[in-house]
Amino acid sequence: MSLEFIPTRVFYEPGALDYPLGKTLVEGFQNMGISVSHTTSHNRITGIPGNTATAAYREAKRTLVIGVRRSEKFQSCKPSAHYQLPLVTSCPGMCEYCYLATTLGKKPYIRIYVNQEEILERASKLIQERIPEITTFEGAATSDPVPVERYTGALKRAIEFFGHQPNGRFRFVTKYTDIESLLDVKHEGHTRFRFSLNCSEVVKKYEHGTPSPEERIIASGKVLKAEYPLGFIIAPIFRFQGWQDAYGRLMERTAEELAKRALSGWSPEQLTLEFISHRFTAKAKANILEIFPNSSLPMKEEERKFKYGQFGYGKYIYQAEEMKEMKEFFQEQAKAYFHSAKVEYFI
């Protein structure tokens, strides 16, 4: 199955036509024979079909909205970065557990913003305000920006921009592998390129419309060879029959590919690892079951520990003993395969 994202329908804000990228995109999609209509706001899209929540969700994931990001304010993005860099919202993937299904509502259509220069200018101001401190921006807080990169070139532009910023750093994460256009960008080591990985048992079951772990690992090797600071997020981690073997194989295969691709002088010290165990909120569970009524995601509240969250709603995480076992397991794996890598956290 090709994972190349070609939208079924496109909407654009008339203001997007004031930007060369907006014009090129609208004309390009019209020339491709795709239905293109205008909309008054990228935040209010009507006209996405679907009689059921499942159908509406699927159609939304094939809908692209070309907009202008007007808000002056950047959301904070603690603890991994100071600010979110708003380049894209949502993504064409259909991971059953995706938190965007909760935050973006029933129709998480994909939004891209054509005023990239203005967005980067705002980033530049925020960097200036914090000098001499380093200011870090996260490019994937509300999306996976890679599937639409072929249309937007937004990551390429942002990476280049941060390459010129002595006090600015950029990071993003992706499950996608269409990254060739980013390999020769002058990043100057200021962008951390992270891949979200999971074992094939989990990817096949829950991460619909995303590349296989093997494809992601091969792509990460290319990114390493392009001398980007590299990182992996292993998430969400599930316990199932044979989970240690499955995750162990994933770590082993990743280490093998990196060893093959690393240039001389590279050391795992430059690698970051993040581990996130599976968790869910009551709201997320209700949303997921509406969109994926037959989901086999493990979401039995009685099997989990309830933990109050910082935003007033609680989440269901694995039991303390299970968490301890998982944490120890991944710490050992990290030591065995990436001995000096920086383990940022296990949650």
The footprint of ligand SF4 (CB under 6 A) covers 91, 93-95, 98, 100, 143-144, 175, 210
Cβ 100 to ligand SF4 shortest distance, Å: 5
H or E element at residue 111: strand 110-113
Please identify, using beta-carbon distances, which residue of 67 and 93 lies nearer to ligand SF4. 93
Cβ 209 to ligand SF4 shortest distance, Å: 8
Cβ 308 to ligand SF4 shortest distance, Å: 24
CA angle, residues 188, 190, 196, in degrees to nearest 5: 120
Q: How far apart are CA 55 and CA 98, in angstroms?
A: 17
H, E, C per residue of 110-132? EEEECCHHHHHHHHHHHHHHHCC
Q: How far apart are CA 124 and CA 107, in angstroms?
A: 32
Q: How far apart are CA 296 and CA 293, in angstroms?
A: 9
Cβ 144 to ligand SF4 shortest distance, Å: 4
Q: How far apart are CA 153 and CA 159, in angstroms?
A: 10
Please identify, using beta-carbon distances, which residue of 127 and 141 lies nearer to ligand SF4. 141
Cβ 47 to ligand SF4 shortest distance, Å: 22
Please identify, using beta-carbon distances, which residue of 162 and 206 lies nearer to ligand SF4. 206
Please identify, using beta-carbon distances, which residue of 108 and 268 lies nearer to ligand SF4. 108
Please identify, using beta-carbon distances, which residue of 201 and 338 lies nearer to ligand SF4. 201
Is the preceding omega at residue 213 within 30 degrees of 0, hence cis?
Answer: no
**What are residue 51's DSSP bridge partners?**
none
